[in-house]
């Protein structure tokens, strides 16, 4: 019964702060939408969701990076309680244009990325057969 939804009021959201957690999320599936990239990593079955935010120097100086992270934090604060999956870590990465993007479009970017990651998570894994036989070449009669 691990897939039972956790009531929003019981969902605990914490911040990712350690570099190792960010690096672990970097190896997880990601989704880029508009001015944001979201990475989601399954952790365990506790009703805890952790979120981290990052903006590289490509976004701009410290003032622009801080503004980008503040905008992402507010968007996530509004959307993550209803779209997050318990036991997951999420990293939100600012892309170019996140500062100038209209607020409603930024909310749409975050929402669509979280929905896409949830859909990918719920999709059954493809049946990978490690032993594949190569097709045998047909014999040519000369």
pLDDT tens column, 116-142: 998 887 765 554 445 545 555 555 555
Pick the CATH number of 8-120 from 3.30.230.10, 3.90.1150.10, 3.20.20.120, 1.10.260.40: 3.30.230.10
The model carries a pTM of: 0.78
Q: What's the mean pLDDT in 9-38? A: 89
> Is it the case that residue 25 has pLDDT exceeding 70?
yes
Q: Where are the domains of the chain?
A: 8-120
Residue 35's pLDDT band (cuts 50, 70, 90):
very high
Cβ(64)–Cβ(27) under 8 Å?
no
pLDDT tens column, 68-100: 999 999 999 999 999 988 889 999 999 999 999
> Is it the case that residue 34 has pLDDT exceeding 80?
yes
Angle at the Cα of 13 from the Cα atoms of 10 and 14, rounded to 5 degrees: 140
């Amino acid at each position: 019964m691990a897939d039972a939804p956790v009531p929003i009021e019981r969902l605990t959201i914490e911040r990712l702060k350690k570099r190792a957690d960010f690096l672990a999320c970097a190896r997880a599936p990601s989704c880029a939408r508009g001015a944001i990239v979201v990475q989601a990593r399954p952790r365990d079955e506790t009703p805890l969701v952790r979120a981290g935010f990052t903006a590289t120097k490509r976004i701009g100086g410290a003032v622009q990076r801080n503004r980008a992270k503040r905008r992402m934090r507010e968007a996530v604060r509004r959307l993550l309680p209803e779209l997050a999956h318990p036991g997951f870590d999420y990293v939100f990465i600012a892309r170019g244009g996140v500062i100038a993007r209209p607020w409603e479009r930024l909310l749409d970017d975050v929402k669509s990325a979280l929905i896409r990651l949830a859909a990918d998570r719920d999709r059954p894994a493809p049946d990978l057969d490690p032993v594949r036989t190569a097709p045998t070449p047909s014999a040519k009669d000369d």
